[in-house]
Amino acid sequence: MEEWQQRTVAEKELLDEKLAKLNKFIETDPLYQGLPVVQADLMSDQAMAMSEYSRILGLRISYFK
């Protein structure tokens, strides 16, 4: 695997770890429930954007030889 491909795989792995932590916070942490609505909505939007970014990285990786 090329070096740039390895970096892409590592980027997706790190992104997925961060996304898992964010999703866990959103789903289980009482602090999330106490956030102002705007902040909670922005965190949810961030999670959706991270998920889409991860999906795209996964597609790119699937084309690596």
pLDDT digits (tens, 9 = 90+) for 9-57: 999 999 999 999 999 999 999 999 999 999 999 999 999 999 999 999 9
* Residue 51, Cβ density class (10 Å: 0-12 exposed, 13-18 middle, ≥19 buried): middle
> Which residues span the domain enclosing 37?
3-62
- Count how many domains the chain has: 1
Q: What is the pTM of this model?
A: 0.92
Query: Which tokens belong to 7?
Result: 């970096």
- pLDDT band (50, 70, 90) for residue 65: confident
